[in-house]
Amino acid sequence: MATIIAHRGARSLAPENTLVAARKAFAVGADMWETDVAVTADDQLFLMHDDAMMRTTDIAEMFPDRVPAPFSTYTLSEIRSLDAGSWFERDDPFGQIAVGSVSRSELESFHGVKVPTLREAFELTLELDWFVNLELKAQPAPKDSFDVVNPPSSPWQKMWGSGLTIFSSPQLSMTG
């Protein structure tokens, strides 16, 4: 059978690249979720697709003088201050709220959700005994001092020791 991989979580039903979107993907039967790994100014790994973060967070309201600077110029604590869920109800990006596929209580649960760290993503994946496919962002340029196998302050080691298989889908430009 084909492996159904939920792109950024169940992003038609919940705000992409959040833990609620991952949980939703699991709930609807996905075999795996795909997500995007980005790095902060202070070398912390987290989940984000767009460089400028404006589409999927309230960063334009929180840091109006800094947008559209890329995510790599923000610290983890700044990124953790963002609301990564409220935009979903406002934008209904796949029209699934309009057709009644997202309940009112689910919509309410999206408000104020945080941008997840990679550690949280791994912890959830382990909790669900599930699989994740990581896409590595091309931005910023590879850091010479950044160990891609055991990056600083990361949960990679724990995840790798767990016996789960992690799938990594690199952009071809990422050679680490």
Partner 1 sequence: MKTLKQRRSDFEVHAILGLFPEDPIDFDDPFFDTFNPRITRVTIEQIEAQLALGTKLNPYTVNDQETISRLVEIGINGLITDFPQRGAR
* 176 contacts partner 1 (rule: CB under 8 A): yes
> Interacting stretch for partner 1, rule CB under 8 A, among 42-50, 69-77, 117-125, 168-176?
168-176
* 94 contacts partner 1 (rule: CB under 8 A): yes
* CB of residue 58 to partner 1, shortest distance in Å: 22
Residues 6+ apart with CB under 8 A from 20: 9, 14, 85, 109, 110, 113
Site for partner 1 in 143-162 (CB under 8 A): 148-149, 160
* DSSP result, 86-146: HHHHHH-TTSTTTTT-S-HHHHHHHTTPPPPBHHHHHHHHHHTT--EEEEEP--SPPPTT-
What is the DSSP-derived secondary structure letter of residue 19? Answer: H
Q: What is the 3-state secondary structure (H, E, C) of 116-130?
A: CEHHHHHHHHHHCCC
* 11 contacts partner 1 (rule: CB under 8 A): yes
* 103 contacts partner 1 (rule: CB under 8 A): no
* 175 contacts partner 1 (rule: CB under 8 A): yes
Rounded CA-CA distance 141/30 in Å is: 32
* CB of residue 63 to partner 1, shortest distance in Å: 28
Name the site residues for partner 1 (rule: CB under 8 A). Answer: 1-8, 10-13, 25, 28-32, 34, 94, 101, 133, 135-136, 148-149, 160, 165-172, 174-176
